[in-house]
Amino acid sequence: MSDVRILGTGAYVPERVVPNDEVAVAAGVDGPWIAGKSGIRERRWAADDQATSDLAAAAGRAALRSAGITAKELSVIVVATSTPDRPQPPTAAYVQQRLGASGAAAFDVNAVCSGMVFALSAAEGVLARSGGHALVIGADLYSRILDRSDRRTVILFGDGAGAVVLAASAERGPRVRHLALHSFGELSGLIEVPAGGSRTPVDRTALEAGLQYFAMDGRGVRSFVGDNLPQLVKAFLHECGVVPDDIDHFVPHQANGVMLDSLFADLELPRATMHRTLTHYGNTGSASIPITLDAAARAGALAPGDLVLLAGFGGGMSVGFALVEW
């Protein structure tokens, strides 16, 4: 990789707090059941007049302030999202307009909950060619696509956005040492929104069948994570030239607290602290890694020289890892 540095981080979550008891009513469960199954106690849902680009732009502004640069200095904006404002144009175009970053190229990446790591890789490629600064944002607004009666999904998801500012060959900031991406297309049916694309347009038949809603095979996802993540992480660390004892911080996709506890035990990272934000924010899709990274940074938990492992996994099925030297 080229020498890409993180100059700043930022995050935004909507004001509306949705506790478990509120979600539980339509789902036919109760608040303690949700907490026991997921480790989540509340989440944030967007206001009716907010779209994904609004959340993304707010997180982007926070990251720009943290980095100490202006939007005019950006050469590229990459937004990772699976809940775009519209099928087209890219949500990143709206973010560019809201930030006033008229000189920046802007495009989206969709790798669902691994999207932030995939977007980091895309931005790194652009910076390697042209230099400059990149704003990379993970943003999702899942409350718009949830079936409120489906307890398999509605209990898990919240809305939010997180962002980082990257610079090529900068002399300051945490260094992105290595990235790795994986996809398992044969398992793409585990997580999907069946209607809304060219395969199954949203028409009356699709709406009556509820195909416009997010659907997930939770048991299949848990099996995928348990069967694949430990060995993929170990192989990634080997590629990076480090051993599990070297990792100081683990920032995973905030899928489900019970799943994360099991995964963390299987990874055998003896010195690492696992960072979590899902207790209060739920699963925020592609936003969960940058929101959690920003929370750890703002709390002063990350010391210079610490090794931070970012791990995304989600629909596709997709997996993405990044090793950051803070």
Q: What CATH number should be reported for the domain holding residue 309?
A: 3.40.47.10
Range of the domain at 183: 176-325
Tokens 């970053």: give the residue: 101
How confident is the model at residue 129, as a pLDDT?
Answer: 87
Q: Do 163 and 261 fall into the same domain?
A: no
Closest CA to 314 of 192, 136, 194: 192
Q: Say whether both 233 and 148 belong to one domain.
A: no
Answer yes or no: do 148 and 181 share one domain. no
How many domains does the structure of the chain reveal?
2
Last residue of a domain, one of 128, 145, 172: 172
Q: Positive or negative, the Cα torsion across 163, 166, 172, 177?
A: positive
pTM attached to this predicted model: 0.95
Looking at 172, 191, 211, the residue that finishes a domain is 172
pLDDT tens across the length of the chain (326 residues): 568 999 999 999 999 999 999 999 999 999 999 999 999 999 999 999 999 999 999 999 999 999 999 999 999 999 999 999 999 999 999 999 999 999 899 999 999 999 999 999 999 999 988 889 999 999 999 999 999 999 999 999 999 999 999 999 777 889 999 999 999 999 999 999 999 999 999 999 999 999 999 999 999 999 999 999 999 999 999 999 999 999 999 999 999 999 999 999 999 999 999 999 999 999 999 999 999 999 999 999 999 999 999 999 999 999 999 999 99
Q: Tokens standing for 323?
A: 């090793």
Say if residue 198 is in the same domain as residue 290: yes
Kindly report the backbone phi and psi dihedral angles of residue 83, in degrees, each rounded to the nearest multiple of 5, phi listed first. -130, 65
One domain, residues 250 and 150: no
- Give me 253's structure tokens: 């996709």
**What DSSP string describes 6-26?**
EEEEEEE--SEEEEHHHHHHH
Q: What is the pLDDT of residue 130?
A: 87
The residues near 148 (Cβ < 8 Å, ≥ 6 apart) are 23, 26, 27, 154
| Residues 248 and 198 both lie in one domain | yes
Token duo for residue 150: 């489906």
Does residue 183 sit in the same domain as residue 129?
no
Shared domain for 114 and 227, answered yes or no, is no
Q: Which residues contact 209 (CB under 8 A, 6 or more apart)?
A: none
Are 185 and 320 in the same domain? Answer: yes
123/187 same-domain check? no
Instruction: Give the residue from 172, 194, 227 where a domain finishes.
Output: 172
Shared-domain flag, residues 230 and 197 = yes
Distances (CA, A) of 133 to 34, 78, 125, 271: 41, 11, 12, 33
Per-residue model confidence (pLDDT) at position 2:
61
Evaluate whether 293 touches 176 at the Cβ level (below 8 Å).
no
Residues classed as catalytic: 113, 253, 283
Is residue 285 within 8 A of residue 115, CB to CB? The reply is yes
Same domain for 54 and 197, yes or no, is: no
